[in-house]
Amino acid sequence: MTVLLTGGTGYIGSHTATALSEAGHEVILLDNFCNSHRAILERLEKIVGKSVPCIEGDVRDTALVKRTLQEYGVEVVIHLAGLKAVGESVKTPLNYYENNVHGTLSLLRAMDEADVNNMIFSSSATVYGDPQYLPIDEDHPLAPTNPYGRTKLYIEQILEDHVRANDNIKVVNLRYFNPVGSHSSALLGEDPRGIPNNLMPFMARVASGELKELSVFGDDYPTMDGTGVRDYIHVVDLAEGHVAALEFLPRSTGFETFNLGTGSGFSVLQVIQSYEVACGKKIPYQIVKRRPGDIASCYTDPNKANAVLKWKANRSLSEMCLSSWDFQRRLN
């Protein structure tokens, strides 16, 4: 199939582009590079053995997106473009609604005008908010606790309404848990602009000496060692989840949601230990106060994705840490 990836040069987009290309699909990227680097394109070319077309532009530019869809004969859009930092979304909510929600509306208009009817959407486990039970399945109530999570929930609702109103439109809604790690080539990985917001890229920069120490936000949660527990998923497993979702689209009947995670939770201290083994160094860290809005534990019930998409996240925590460190070392 011919697939447009919005946000395709970002962390998850670049890995997904590789997995799709390896599975024989034609891939086109569209990105405004607000959180990614142009150098990704050369690295992608090295991995997939051919150049990957990339349009520099914003999903809010409806005319540009429409032209791109028509010019390349796009059949499916994987919509990854968006802002994703929870803390930043609390400080600048309008930027988040503008970019994520308005961006999606503009994209949907362009898709309508170009008669492109299939979308895979990058949603997030953040839409569930504080877990009311664990593991979290797709029927868990939705109650995001911050503007970023609300943008994802509103987009999901817009997509659901759009599908309900149009028999020919299909959307696969993927709620990612915590993607980490890097491609085996060490050419792709998580390399955010500025100070990383997420645990593993932050830890990678501490291990490389770029940052002094890691802050662990709270050690008094009701978990195995008091630190927060999350469902970390190797980004290559996640990328393969998109290939499975694409293959599922013809069988789908409208709007379908899947949680993508491993189903296992690891605490911050367990991740630090595993990273120390991977990089062969101690990671200096300090326990600090809990962060407002953080939750104790969050992990998925992956059964629906396993059964319906015929996909499973198999890579271990140690593979996640080793691949992250390989990528970080190559950067330095």
Ligand X SMILES: NC(=O)c1ccc[n+]([C@@H]2O[C@H](COP(=O)([O-])OP(=O)(O)OC[C@H]3O[C@@H](n4cnc5c(N)ncnc54)[C@H](O)[C@@H]3O)[C@@H](O)[C@H]2O)c1
The residues binding ligand X (CB under 6 A) are: 6-7, 9-13, 31-36, 58-60, 80-84, 99, 103, 122, 124, 176, 178-179, 198
Distance between CA atoms of residues 118 and 173, nearest Å: 11
Distance between CA atoms of residues 48 and 22, nearest Å: 7
Find the shortest distance in angstroms from Cβ 316 to ligand X: 19
Minimum CB distance to ligand X smaller for 267 or for 300 = 300
Q: Kindly list the catalytic residues.
A: 148
Distance between CA atoms of residues 47 and 164, nearest Å: 39
Minimum CB distance to ligand X smaller for 84 or for 162 = 84
Residues 6+ apart with CB under 8 A from 209: none
Distance between CA atoms of residues 17 and 72, nearest Å: 16
The 3-state secondary structure of the chain reads: CEEEEECCCCHHHHHHHHHHHHCCCEEEEEECCCCCCCCHHHHHHHHHCCCCCEEECCCCCHHHHHHHHHHHCCCEEEECCCCCCHHHHHHCHHHHHHHHHHHHHHHHHHHHHHCCCEEEEEEEHHHHCCCCCCCECCCCCCCCCCHHHHHHHHHHHHHHHHHHHCCCCEEEEEEECEEECCCCCCCCCCCCCCCCCCHHHHHHHHHCCCCCCEEEECCCCCCCCCCCEECEEEHHHHHHHHHHHHHHHHHCCCEEEEEECCCCCEEHHHHHHHHHHHHCCCCCEEEECCCCCCCCEECECCHHHHHHHCCCCCCCHHHHHHHHHHHHHHHC
Torsion 144-17-318-284 (CA) sign: negative
Q: Cβ of 167: how many Cβ atoms within 10 Å?
A: 10
